[in-house]
A and B are shown apart, each in its own frame.
Chain A
Amino acid sequence: MRQVVRIFGEKAMFFLHEAGSYSLLTMRTIAAIPQVFRRFRLTSEQMLMMGVASLPLVLFTSVFTGAVSAVQAAYQFRGYVPMRYLGTAVGKAVIIELGPVLTALVVAGRVGAAIAAELGTMKVTEQVDALETLALDPVKYLAAPRLVSGLVMLPVLTIFSNFVAILGALFVSIFFIDITAYTFLNGVKLFFDLKDLFGGLLKSFFFGGIIASVGCYHGFRTYGGAEGVGLSTTRAVVLASVLILISDYIIASILFG
């Protein structure tokens, strides 16, 4: 029994310590955001890496997200709900949930891993220490540009994802579900609500912050050479994915509950 209590206590202390460290780093990074505009080139490079370079992956994911949404919705509607509402269901699902969440998860796997790997490598090769010896704050120089890029580019990618997913659903609806483009698009417009769109983009705003901050957190804490970099990369992706799903629930409850 003592052993159980001791293990539980250690895990709880570890969790609190990690949560505290992550929160402190995130707060320091947010406080450093105004400095980003002094070195905007660093931020624009990160935006290119996070946003523009992620477009092919988001395109691929979104096309199939929209396509499978249409297929699944049609399957569930058949015999119960008129097909003129297919566009409505797909539009709502994509804009409120699938677009923001699936985009965030694939970007977490790509960009979150890349951030953790890059900063982790810098940590183990003493480049982060070198920045400090040059009187440069690694949080201002490395973390803040990445956070701003995440906050800006995830909503942009989500808008792109929403558009492509609906196109993918449209394609499947026309060629495989035998619904006209007019019927499908009319359905998308029928119960469209700006609140849905802004709610989805608000989610993606927070998701972008999570991906960048978690990647930076694990990157800065890397030790132990190449193995350590690999561990940090994996942890960053796992933690970012978990936090995305948790925050998705919280934001959805607040906005749509």
Chain B
Amino acid sequence: MVQAMTLNPGQAVGEAAIRIVDLYKRLNGKPVLNGVNLTINRGETLTIIGRSGEGKSVLLKHIIGLMKPDSGSVFIDGIDITRMSGRSLAEIRRRFGMLFQGAALFDSMTVDENVGIGLREHTDIPEEKIKATVKEKLAQVGLFNIENIKPAELSGGMKKRVGLARAIAMDPEIVLYDEPTTGLDPINADAINNLILHLKASLKITSVAVTHDMVSAYKISDRIAMLYGGKIIFSGTPEEIRNCDNPIVQQFINGQARGPITDNENNR
């Protein structure tokens, strides 16, 4: 079983798609990330779990460079993106796709324009081919004949799936999922889980998902890491986390209202 991740200077970096080293971040004067160390291997699906407000989304935004840390580094294939900006960071980002918690679809654009925006802006692919690709990506997420609809007319589940189609439209190497099943009914949530598994199998992408939905975490993950107190306190397979003897981890994954997590909060 792999316990809390610490940086091993001798560890080979070649297999790691993403390596987070000693990441610190304060927001509004409060420490959110307090020395996060984490490695995500190429082709694996890692899910980061933790309580609401623990900093999971903040960590995810550091991986794609939407936030800069106070100290520490984020390596993408050995390149430290925390020191990057502008065009060089944009080049790295083209290797990513991201599904936001609320899908973050562009309100003024149709579904076709949303999904195809990356292809239209970054490639010289002819318009007919782009439309065909958009149709194909929407079909992959189980949506048909909605290209001309605006996001306001879509249900929550459909928005998430369109967001996912947009995230994979450019065939990224790495996909980030921010609370992919939050706000969805159990049927739509499981549909998203199945989509994530299908994409992993068909596109062989590296995935990082952030969630507090344990059903989703168990279903989609190769490894699960728990963020608590600004650090990764556990990282292992779903089986390992179920058998973990860390009481903080056990309280969270079993959904217990009382335990060391809530005792610590009451004592603050």
Give me the interface of A with B, judged by CB distance under 8 Å: 121-122, 125-127, 129-130, 132-137
Indicate if B228 sits at the interface (CB-CB under 8 A): no
A129 touching B61, Cβ below 8 Å? yes
Query: Which partner residue on chain A sits nearest B92 by CB separation?
Result: A135
B84 adjacent to chain A (CB < 8 Å): no
Q: Which residues on the B side are within 8 Å of A122 (C-beta)?
A: 106-107
- Are A137's CB and B90's CB within 8 A? yes
Interface contact B90-A135, CB-CB below 8 Å: yes
Closest Cβ neighbor of B86 among chain A residues? A137
A133 touches B93 (CB 8 A): yes
Residues of B whose CB lies within 8 Å of any CB of A are 61, 64, 66, 90-91, 93-94, 96-98, 100-102, 104-107, 117-118, 121-122, 166
Is B64 in contact with A133, judged by CB distance below 8 angstroms? yes
Contact at A135–B101, with CB atoms within 8 Å? no
Is A130 a contact of B90 with CB atoms below 8 Å? no
A126 CA to B151 CA, complexed, in Å: 14
> Are B104 and A127 in touch, CB under 8 angstroms?
yes
CB-CB under 8 A from A136, the residues of chain B are 90, 117, 121
Q: In this complex, what residue of A is CB-closest to B65?
A: A132
Would you call A132 and B93 a contact (CB within 8 A)? yes
The one of B61, B66, B93, B106 that contacts A127, using a Cβ cutoff of 8 Å:
B106
Q: Are B122 and A135 in contact (CB under 8 A)?
A: yes
Residues of B contacting A127 in the complex (Cβ-Cβ under 8 angstroms): 104-107
A-B contact pairs, 19 of them (CB 8 A): A121-B107, A125-B102, A126-B100, A126-B101, A127-B106, A129-B66, A129-B100, A130-B98, A132-B66, A132-B93, A133-B64, A133-B97, A134-B93, A134-B117, A135-B90, A135-B93, A135-B118, A135-B121, A136-B117
CA distance A125 to B105 in the complex (A): 9
Dominant secondary structure of chain B at its interface with chain A: mixed
Top 5 closest A-B pairs, CB basis?
A130-B104, A135-B90, A126-B104, A133-B98, A135-B93
Which residue of B is nearest A141, CB measured?
B121
Name, among A126, A127, A134, the residue most crowded by chain B CB atoms within 10 Å (CB to CB): A134
**A135–B66 CA distance with the chains assembled, in angstroms:** 11
Tell me, in angstroms, the Cα distance from A115 to B45 when the chains sit together. 40
From the candidates A121, A125, A129, A133, name the one contacting B96 in the complex (CB within 8 A). Answer: A133
Q: In the complex, A127 Cα to B102 Cα: how many Å? A: 10
Q: Can you add 7 more A-B contacts, CB < 8 Å, to A135-B118, A137-B90?
A: A121-B107, A126-B101, A129-B61, A130-B100, A134-B93, A135-B91, A136-B117
Q: Are B66 and A133 in contact (CB under 8 A)?
A: yes
Q: Give, as a whole number of angstroms, the nearest-CB distance from A247 to chain B.
A: 31
Chain B residues with CB under 8 A of A126: 100-102, 104
Task: Name the A residues within 8 Å of B106 (CB-CB).
Answer: 122, 127, 130
**Which residues of the partner chain A approach B100 to less than 8 Å between Cβ atoms?**
126, 129-130
A241 to B91, CA, bound (A): 39
Contacts of B91 in A (CB 8 A): 135
Complex Cα–Cα for A30 and B221 (A):
46
Alpha-carbon separation in the docked complex, A137 to B85 (Å) = 11
- Residues of A with C-beta under 8 A to B66: 129, 132-133
A127 nearest CB neighbor, chain B only: B104
Residue of B nearest to A129 (CB): B66
B residues in contact with A130, CB < 8 Å: 98, 100, 104-106
CA distance A127 to B66 in the complex (A): 12
CA distance A134 to B92 in the complex (A): 10
A106 to B94 Cα, complex, angstroms: 42
Kindly state the separation between the CA atoms of A130 and B96 in the bound complex, as whole angstroms.
Answer: 11
* Inter-chain contacts of B97 with A (CB < 8 A): 133
Distance between Cα atoms of A132 and B98 in the complex (Å) = 10
Given known A-B contacts A132-B66, A134-B117, A135-B122, A125 and B93 have beta carbons under 8 A apart: no
Chain A residues whose CB sits within 8 angstroms of the CB of B102 once the complex forms: 125-126
Residues of A within 8 A of B122 (CB): 135
Complex CA gap A133/B96 in Å reads: 7
